[in-house]
Amino acid sequence: MSKFHKIIILRIFALIITLCVMCYLVQQRSITLGGGAKSQARKKFESIIYNAVNKHVGKTLILPYTDSIYIDYDVYQKMFNAPLKIVAYVDGECSICLFYVTFWKDFIYELQNQGHEIQVIIYANSFYEDNLRNYMASHWDYPWLYDHDKAFVFRNTLYDTRFQTVLVNGNNTILLIGNPYFNEKLKSLYLKTIKDY
């Protein structure tokens, strides 16, 4: 087993433990605070979603060109001039974020099987660029961009990881925002919007 795979396994293990602890703490808090805390948390979450949608949907997404690009410029132009595309940011330091790559690959195949084409553009960043490059080579069959300075995130003010995925039209106007990896209803909305476009 390579060093990279050992690191991934350790990150996954740490993530599982963290999630277990978080679930336990949430459960304890809901037991001690009662149902009112759940509705308050739900309202806060809905407010976050509402603010993200209002801030970004209808705005123009900035698609920065990076000097460390794993595609040639002609392919880059073709991808970025597509009439409809999904743009996602993947943090290579986050083990669960790396699963987004496989999710998007499956998402593309699902659409292709239904007769629809979609460009998925991935901006990715990691302190360990070589490890990320190897991971992408073995899990992603499409071009992607290594984003040294996280320019995609910063220039579009997409600081919340839940909203670092967007569906845009040919003018790069944001139609949908949010990562459907976490939400089946959002995935259905992405699929419907793409099919109806």
Q: Which range is least confidently modeled, 11-20, 39-48, 162-171?
A: 11-20
Domain that holds residue 183: 55-196
| Domain co-membership, 45 together with 66 | no
pTM reported for the whole predicted model: 0.74
Whether 31 shows a pLDDT value over 70: the answer reads no
| Domain co-membership, 115 together with 74 | yes
| Domain co-membership, 47 together with 138 | no
| Domain co-membership, 153 together with 191 | yes
| Domain co-membership, 80 together with 17 | no
| Domain co-membership, 111 together with 158 | yes
| Domain co-membership, 78 together with 33 | no
| Domain co-membership, 10 together with 42 | yes
| Domain co-membership, 109 together with 158 | yes
Whether 21 shows a pLDDT value over 90: the answer reads no
- Whole-angstrom distance, CA of residue 14 vs CA of residue 3: 16
- What's the mean per-residue pLDDT of the chain? 80
Q: What is the CATH number of the domain that holds 145?
A: 3.40.30.10
- Whole-angstrom distance, CA of residue 191 vs CA of residue 186: 9
Give residue 97's pLDDT.
86
| Domain co-membership, 99 together with 177 | yes
Whether 106 shows a pLDDT value over 90: the answer reads yes
Note whether 142 and 112 are within 8 A (CB): no
| Domain co-membership, 84 together with 127 | yes
Q: Model confidence at 8, in pLDDT bands (50, 70, 90)? A: low
Number of domain units in the chain: 2
Note whether 55 and 156 are within 8 A (CB): no
Q: What's the average model confidence in pLDDT over 121-146?
A: 89
Distance from first CA to last CA of the chain, Å, rounded? 45
Q: Tens digits of per-residue pLDDT, 150-193? A: 999 999 998 888 889 999 999 999 999 999 988 899 999 999 99
| Domain co-membership, 15 together with 70 | no
Q: Which range is least confidently modeled, 56-65, 66-75, 155-164?
A: 66-75
